[in-house]
Amino acid sequence: MQTVNIDLGNRSYPIHIGSGLIDQQGLLASHVRDRAMVVTNETIAPLYLDKTLAALGNVPSSSVILKDGESFKNLDELNHIFSALLNENFDRSCTLIALGGGVIGDMTGYAAASYQRGVDFIQLPTTLLSQVDSSVGGKTGVNHALGKNMIGAFHQPVAVIADMDTLATLDERELRAGLAEVIKYGFIIDSDFFSWLEDNMDALLSRDPAATGEAVRRSCEIKARVVEADEREHGMRALLNLGHTFGHAIEAAMGYGTWLHGEAVSAGIAMALDTSVRLGLIDEAIRTRGLRLLERAGLPIRAPSQMTPEVFLKYMARDKKVSAGAVRLILLDGIGRSHVSADFDHSALHATLEHFSG
Ligand code: NAD
Ligand code: MG
């Protein structure tokens, strides 16, 4: 087991990464204060719920099983967690345990942020995306019919336990989508990690446990350092949104779930590379190198044909990352170097949108 610590003063916590961690005697229970409520969904419960409850040993624990899917990441479904907690008289000293991907993690985190004005929670992420991204950093929340992640809170977990063994049952497409966020970390901040990914992409695609554990550890380290520097996204944390302004437009315009988030982010990174070339920030060779790695991960580097510049702009203008009316983009200055900008030549952006439209 490897542990990455995230240092946020009295909100600090460990991120444990390794194989067999759910089963590891005492590990999960050591982070529970009193009683535990495991929150999971209909897909994950048959795979990992018994194991998780067994690992809690003699900690008094219950579970609540939600419906599976982004379309159930809403206030109605969230209420099932509160009902279970209240029915069983859980008090403020309880600990919620999120057993699942990013949807379960975000919902459980938000339930923990608001139940009796805030209780502890542990992340047990079971998708690659949630292990490298959503379980770390304390953003929690649910969707509203009028917007994704529009209701939420910053609430840090007390521990993250990423068990590599859970990835064995993950869909191939979900695995690849998670790799998009892994590759993103290399692009924005760490050229050594990018080179490491070039050397290890085949091992990652074949789910080699050592390579996967290393990719998760390095991703969590990068995310931890960024969140430590800027917990509430006033500055540097925005770099984590590379490809996301374009990607969110693709996800929303296609209808959520048609393109997975990571797939849309991959196409979005290809677009950010294109704009960066047009602005003269990077040369063609860097773009080619970047696109090759995304392609090797089996990820899209073109937008869907329905996306015209007009559709892109409509959705991009709605994106949360637009501040004071200006579209903000994460632009690349090289492999491992990036910056946020609202002040760039918009003709380059328009040329990118033209170039990527159907
Ligand atoms: P997800 O939670 O929907 O999981 C994907 C699918 O895989 C689901 O059907 C799930 O039931 C299934 N699954 C999960 N683990 C499995 C396993 N081990 N074996 C088999 N099937 C398994 O999707 P996700 O990609 O993990 O997370 C996406 C969500 O995360 C979005 O709602 C997004 O907004 C959120 N997110 C949050 C943050 C953050 O900082 N809080 C960051 C990124 C994404
Ligand atoms: Mg993302």
Tell me the per-residue pLDDT of 270-308, one tens digit each, with 9 for 90 and over: 999 999 999 999 999 999 999 999 999 999 999 999 999
Q: Pairing between strand 147-154 and 139-144?
A: antiparallel
**129 touches ligand 1 (CB under 6 Å):** yes
In this structure, the residue with its CA closest to atom 14 of ligand 1 is: 101
**217 touches ligand 1 (CB under 6 Å):** no
User: What are phi and psi for residue 28, nearest 5 degrees?
Assistant: -65, -45
Give the C-alpha separation, 114 to 97, whole Å.
15
The arithmetic mean of pLDDT across residues 79-105, rounded, is 98
Active site residue 155: no
Question: What is the DSSP annotation of 179-216?
Answer: HHHHHHHHHHH-HHHHHHHHHHHHHHHTT-HHHHHHHH
| Å from CA of 233 to ligand 2 middle | 14
Percentage of the chain exceeding pLDDT 70: 98
Counting atoms of ligand 1 from 1, which one is nearest the CA of 106?
A: 41
- Quick one: pLDDT at residue 323? 64
Pocket test for ligand 1, best of 174, 230, 248, 259 (most atoms within 8 A of CB): 174
What is the sign of the dihedral through the CA atoms of 316, 319, 325 and 328?
Answer: negative
| Å from CA of 128 to ligand 1 middle | 8
Residue 289, judged by CB atoms within 10 A of its CB (0-12, 13-18, 19+), counts as middle
Pocket test for ligand 1, best of 108, 130, 161 (most atoms within 8 A of CB): 130
Give the C-alpha separation, 96 to 220, whole Å.
22
| Å from CA of 129 to ligand 2 middle | 8
Place of tokens 């983009």: 329
Q: 177-208 burial, b for 16+ CB within 10 Å, e for fewer?
A: bbbbbbbbbbbbbbeebbebbeebbeebbeee
- Quick one: pLDDT at residue 321? 56
Determine which helix (DSSP H) or strand (DSSP E) holds 257, and give its type and residue range. none
- Quick one: pLDDT at residue 9? 97
Distances (CA, A) of 281 to 129, 235, 287: 29, 21, 11
Active site residue 223: yes
Give the C-alpha separation, 123 to 139, whole Å.
12
Pocket test for ligand 1, best of 106, 133, 151, 241 (most atoms within 8 A of CB): 106
- Quick one: pLDDT at residue 357? 87
Give the C-alpha separation, 106 to 191, whole Å.
30
Are the C-beta atoms of residues 59 and 27 closer than 8 Å to each other?
A: no
Distances (CA, A) of 269 to 22, 94, 272, 333: 34, 41, 5, 13
pLDDT band, residue 114 (cuts 50/70/90): very high
Q: Which two tokens stand for residue 48?
A: 């990992």
- Quick one: pLDDT at residue 104? 98
Q: Pairing between strand 2-6 and 36-41?
A: unpaired
Active site residue 181: yes
- Quick one: pLDDT at residue 72? 96
Active site residue 241: yes
Counting atoms of ligand 1 from 1, which one is nearest the CA of 140?
A: 41
Tell me the per-residue pLDDT of 121-149, one tens digit each, with 9 for 90 and over: 999 999 999 999 999 999 999 998 888 89
**143 touches ligand 1 (CB under 6 Å):** no
Instruction: Compute the radius of gyration of the chain from its Cα atoms.
Output: 20
From the candidates 233, 287, 337, 339, give the one annotated as an active-site residue. 233
Give the C-alpha separation, 295 to 152, whole Å.
34
Tell me the per-residue pLDDT of 178-214, one tens digit each, with 9 for 90 and over: 999 999 999 999 999 999 999 999 999 999 999 999 9
From the candidates 31, 261, 278, 328, give the one annotated as an active-site residue. 261
Q: Where on the phi/psi map is residue 244: left (φ > 0), alpha (ψ -120 to 50), or beta?
A: alpha
Q: How far apart are the first and last CA of the chain?
A: 46
In this structure, the residue with its CA closest to atom 37 of ligand 1 is: 134
Percentage of the chain exceeding pLDDT 90: 92
SS3 (DSSP) at 39: strand
Q: What pTM does this model have? A: 0.96
Active site residue 318: no
**Amino acid, res. 1:** M
Are the C-beta atoms of residues 4 and 220 closer than 8 Å to each other?
A: yes
Q: Which two tokens stand for residue 337?
A: 């170097």
The arithmetic mean of pLDDT across residues 29-37, rounded, is 97
Residue 46 has what DSSP assignment?
Answer: I
